[in-house]
Amino acid sequence: MKAPGIRNFLCLPACLFLFSLGFVPGKVFGTEKLTGIQSAQVMSQSMPWIALEAGLFRKYNLDFRLVFISSSAVVTAAVLGGDGEIALTGSVGFVRAFIQGAADLVFIGGVKNILTHSILAGPEIKRPEELKGKKIGVTRIGGNSHYFSVQALRRFGLDSARDVSFIQTGGEFETFAALSSGPKRAYCQFRRRAD
């Protein structure tokens, strides 16, 4: 059996994203502009960019603007503040806001059902247990990279509140720079390959 290609991988998410525009409040379609926010520049959040580049928004008379804001927590604040009508982001920020009473959020669908992050460290750290006492760079406390790190550490018997310190960097590239600037640090990032 032939493995599905990249076209098949992107078809369903792109259709879901375009379908979701039908659930945006009517006032959005009364105006000419629609702002979408994405929280990471990764394959799983590429549908609006692909649709924009393919001219699909213009085809349906939408003046669509795509904005990149790193971290689901910040994207959630931007959507709640009215800076965007639709977002493609990790679920952690939206779920926390919804649980805390932000009833104006509507969940339309999910693109993936797993966290696709990795914790990377310098060559001096060989095993996860050696992260004890070290600093781990994440985009934002409360974002997906932080949530993933907490869960990964728990899996290896480490308490994230006691055994490590988190450095809030603001973005993936900034997180990598923080790791590069000092010894014995680790960082959490999205996997760049679709496997």
Provide the H-helix boundaries in the chain: 6-20, 26-30, 47-53, 56-59, 72-80, 91-99, 144-155, 172-180
The pLDDT of residue 58: 87
What DSSP string describes 4-40?
A: P-HHHHHHHHHHHHHHHGGGS-HHHHHSSEEEEEES-
CATH 3.40.50 domain position(s) in the chain? 6-99
Residues with Cβ < 8 Å from 27, sequence gap 6 or more? none
Domain 6-99, CATH? 3.40.50
What is the distance between the alpha carbons of residues 76 and 93, in angstroms, rounded to a whole number? 6
CA-nearest of 39, 44, 41 to 195 is: 44
* Burial of residue 37 (number of CB atoms within 10 Å: 0-12, 13-18, 19+): buried
CATH 3.40.190.10 domain position(s) in the chain? 117-190
Look up residue 126 and give its amino acid: K
* Burial of residue 51 (number of CB atoms within 10 Å: 0-12, 13-18, 19+): buried
Structurally, what CATH architecture does the domain formed by 117-190 represent?
A: 3-Layer(aba) Sandwich (3.40)
What is the distance between the alpha carbons of residues 107 and 105, in angstroms, rounded to a whole number? 7
Cβ atoms of 137 and 110 within 8 Å: the answer is no
The pLDDT of residue 103: 84
Averaged in consecutive runs of 10 residues, what is the pLDDT profile of the chain (195 residues)? 56 60 54 82 84 90 90 88 90 86 84 80 86 88 86 94 90 75 65 47
What is the distance between the alpha carbons of residues 138 and 148, in angstroms, rounded to a whole number? 10
The β-bridge relationship of strands 33-38 and 117-121 is unpaired
Q: What is the pTM of this model?
A: 0.66
